[in-house]
Amino acid sequence: MTIGPVDRKASLPGKPCAFVTGADGFVGSHLGELLATSGFETYGLVRRRPQPGPPASRFYRELLLGDLNDPRSLRTALNDIRPDYIFHFAGVSAGTASGALAQYQTNVSGTVNLLESIAATGLRSLTLVASSSAVYGGGGRALITERRGFAPQTAYAGSKCAEEIVAQQYRAEKGIPIIIARTFNLVGPRQPISQVTSSIACQIAKIEAGMQTALEVGNLATRRDYTDVRDAVRAYLLLAKNGKTGRAYNVCSGRSWSIRHLVSILVRMSGAEIQIVCDESRKRPGDVKEQRGSPKLTQRVAGWAPTIKMKQSLGDLLNYWRANFRKTNL
């Protein structure tokens, strides 16, 4: 796997081409895997040269160095590849240490740079823009449909609202065919530790390995709608093929889980004695109490439904961290 200028002379005739931003991220690695096994010639954009053997490098024909805040690198990549599909997953995610300015610069200005580059290169690639259920704010027990308006409660949520507006503007003004995927919470192997489910699984694996003494948690009462990342990437591909441009689609399960319940499942999977300690610093200001989405529109339009059960998702995530610490101790 190389990183650099792209030579598509060896491409298979008639094979669809996909370009994924954030290719080395949680979603990007799983999406690359799905695209590769679905007959796509797949290229990815990464900000920095990956360490040897990252998951993404196994699934992409080539990884290109570039940055959303560097329009020249985006135009060069798009001109070289000329993709049929673009999946835009690069950005600053919720739960990271980045401040509001970084979230708006990357998620909004970066998306402007990408869409400007698409327009400048004359492409009409179907572009799926990754948004978030955070745009809805809280929801309570009611199912949230795509008709609900924006009600952001954090800087991250505000940046995703603005990103959607930018995407719709470029669709209208530049004619770029755009679909927006509003993803609720994800879970599964390779999830970054900044996400609560992965933090819990990682800590349990550390306790099992004798590297930590107690499981530190934040607010256990919050409830979220979770989908396995491997189900989610199937939704993205099906939406790219079957969705209506200009529309936003929920990617969710329609069921909410409390953090307390997820902790109990993971603890039962471990044979270790686990003491649970509440850490106030892990509680996020502006965190909504409950959120549950309706997947009906996505199911009807794309023929998609989640299939992976929560127990499998959490077990695979815990085993991912267990394997990580086994390698560390070798």
Looking at 3.30.360.10, 3.40.50.720, 1.10.730.10, 3.30.1130.10, the CATH number of the domain 17-186+227-251 comes to 3.40.50.720
Cβ-Cβ contacts under 8 Å for 141 (sequence gap 6 or more): 256, 290, 292
Domain boundaries for CATH 3.90.25.10 within the chain: 188-225+256-289+308-329
Looking at 3.90.25.10, 3.30.200.20, 3.30.420.40, 3.20.20.70, the CATH number of the domain 188-225+256-289+308-329 comes to 3.90.25.10
Domain boundaries for CATH 3.40.50.720 within the chain: 17-186+227-251
Distance CA 210, CA 183 (A): 35
* Closest to 44 (Cα-Cα) out of 77, 69, 15: 77
Residue 96: the pLDDT is 67
Cβ-Cβ contacts under 8 Å for 299 (sequence gap 6 or more): 305
Q: Are strands 178-183 and 126-132 parallel, antiparallel or unpaired?
A: parallel
Cβ-Cβ contacts under 8 Å for 166 (sequence gap 6 or more): 108, 111, 112, 115
Residue where the block lists tokens 């979770």: 226
The rounded Cα 202 to chain-centroid distance in angstroms is 19
User: Consecutive 10-residue runs of the chain (330 residues): their mean pLDDT?
Assistant: 48 82 95 96 87 69 92 94 97 78 93 97 97 91 94 94 98 98 97 95 96 93 96 98 98 96 97 88 71 97 98 98 76
Residue 7: the pLDDT is 52
Residue 122: the pLDDT is 96
Q: Which two tokens stand for residue 135?
A: 């745009």
Residue 279: the pLDDT is 78
Residue 327: the pLDDT is 63
**Residue type present at position 217:** V
Residues in the chain, overall count: 330
Residue 138: the pLDDT is 83
The dihedral built from the CA positions of residue 143, 146, 151 and 155, taken in this order, carries a sign that is positive
Residue 330: the pLDDT is 41
Distance CA 42, CA 240 (A): 15
